[in-house]
């Protein structure tokens, strides 16, 4: 593998991460545009079952499509903005509650506090809150969206089983996430994926309720005549939403995974630079990979913040090879741990 240097690696991964992040609003608005195109093609914009002149079904009418797209764009972006505000306000407290993390002060653990404080001074990084989780296995993660909420969380097993150099390297990795605002970036990614998942789930629930209701009231609709056509149109709309939200979810989910993997490489390089000892982080990653902690937290959106994802590490230990291994990595939030160690050992 070609050696490129720490700063070059950081610059390349930051550039690629920005490109990947910009894909999210494009995917979201693209999904809206495709949904409108689908509705136009099937004749949704015909009123009372009669198409106005020039508005036949099975054709695209771009003046109509762009009209509705421009009309939907402000609503789409405003709803996304509201979703972001909610996620920003609740993210830190939710993570702390899920992981059962407890804050630690200097008097509670002088060793850990001094390591974090010294690295913050050396790197010119804001001093974060330090949390500890009672877990005999090893793991760590950074979280937060702004200076008051930035937090480093360590398991008790990590603190007890790593020496000072290894623990400093792990803390340096998490501080790099904070310095590069990776934690904020991952909140953005999680929110975008959540938008598509919510649209998909809501549409499926509504379609299911509509199907159940239509069976119970089929005789009454037949007597009234026009009700069946309205129900059918609503079903078509929901099916279109399900299809395009599923496509949007898939691409946004894959983009989120790609961003997460890129950021781990950047944080590894940043830790090696901050501590001046890349082999210490390589040694720490080996120990963590043998017994990754926080496996009981059954939330993949939180687990992607860990220095090593417990479930993915179990899959990687199955020794997959060839195209199967490459395909598996594409669906992982973290790069392959041996690959990360190999890069660190080059420095």
Cα 262 from Cα 294, distance rounded (Å): 22
- Of residues 202, 216, 230, 227, the one with CA closest to residue 47: 230
Question: Mind telling me the catalytic residues?
Answer: 174
Q: In the chain, how long is the greatest CA-to-CA distance?
A: 80
Nearest Cα residue to 174 out of 308, 6, 277, 298: 308
C-alpha angle with apex 169: 164 to 170, nearest 5 degrees? 100
Burial label, 42 (beta-carbon count in 10 A; 0-12, 13-18, 19+): middle
Task: Please check whether residue 31 is in contact with residue 245, taking contact to mean a CB–CB distance below 8 angstroms.
Answer: yes
CB 138 within 8 A of CB 159: no
**What letter does residue 42 receive in the DSSP assignment?**
T
Contacts of 6 (CB under 8 A, 6+ apart): 269, 270, 272, 273, 347
Question: What is the strand order of the sheet 129-133 is part of?
Answer: 102-104, 129-133, 151-155, 140-143
Q: Which tokens hold the place of 236? A: 């078509």
DSSP helix/strand/coil, 115: helix
Q: Are 95 and 306 in contact (CB under 8 A)?
A: no
Distance in angstroms (rounded) separating the CA atoms of residues 193 and 238: 19
Q: Both tokens of residue 77?
A: 């972006």
Q: Report the alpha-carbon distance of residue 154 to residue 207 in Å, rounded.
A: 44
Spell 121-138 as b/e; 16+ CB within 10 A means b: eebebebbbbbbbebebb
């Amino acid at each position: 593998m070609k050696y490129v240097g720490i700063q070059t690696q950081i610059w390349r991964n930051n550039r690629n991460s920005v490109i990947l992040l910009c894909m999210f609003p494009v995917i979201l608005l693209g999904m809206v545009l495709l949904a409108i195109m689908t509705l136009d093609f099937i004749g949704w914009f015909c009123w009372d079952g009669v198409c106005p002149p020039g508005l036949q079904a099975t054709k695209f009418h771009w003046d109509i499509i762009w009209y509705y797209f421009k009309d939907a764009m402000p609503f789409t972006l405003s709803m996304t903005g509201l979703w972001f505000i909610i996620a920003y306000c609740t993210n830190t407290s939710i993570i702390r509650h899920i992981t059962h993390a407890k804050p630690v002060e200097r008097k509670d653990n002088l060793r850990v506090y001094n390591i974090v404080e010294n690295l913050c001074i050396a790197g010119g990084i804001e001093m974060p809150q330090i949390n500890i989780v009672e877990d005999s296995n090893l793991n760590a993660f950074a979280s937060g969206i702004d200076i008051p909420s930035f937090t480093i969380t360590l398991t008790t097993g990590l603190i007890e089983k790593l020496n000072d150099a290894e623990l400093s390297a792990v803390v340096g990795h998490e501080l790099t996430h904070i310095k590069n605002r990776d934690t904020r970036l991952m909140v953005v990614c999680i929110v975008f994926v959540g938008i598509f998942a919510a649209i998909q789930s809501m549409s499926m629930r509504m379609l299911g309720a509509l199907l159940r209701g239509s069976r119970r009231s089929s005789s009454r609709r037949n007597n009234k005549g026009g009700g069946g056509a309205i129900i059918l149109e609503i079903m078509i709309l929901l099916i279109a939403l399900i299809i395009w939200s599923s496509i949007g979810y898939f691409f946004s989910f894959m983009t989120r995974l790609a961003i997460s993997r890129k950021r781990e490489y950047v944080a590894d390089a940043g830790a090696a630079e901050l501590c001046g000892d890349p082999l210490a982080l390589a040694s720490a990653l080996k120990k963590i990979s043998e017994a990754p902690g926080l496996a009981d937290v059954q939330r993949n959106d939180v687990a992607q913040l860990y220095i090593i994802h417990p479930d993915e590490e179990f899959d990687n230990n199955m020794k997959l090879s060839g195209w199967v291994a490459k395909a598996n990595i594409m669906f992982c939030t973290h790069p392959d741990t041996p690959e990360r160690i190999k890069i660190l050992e080059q420095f």
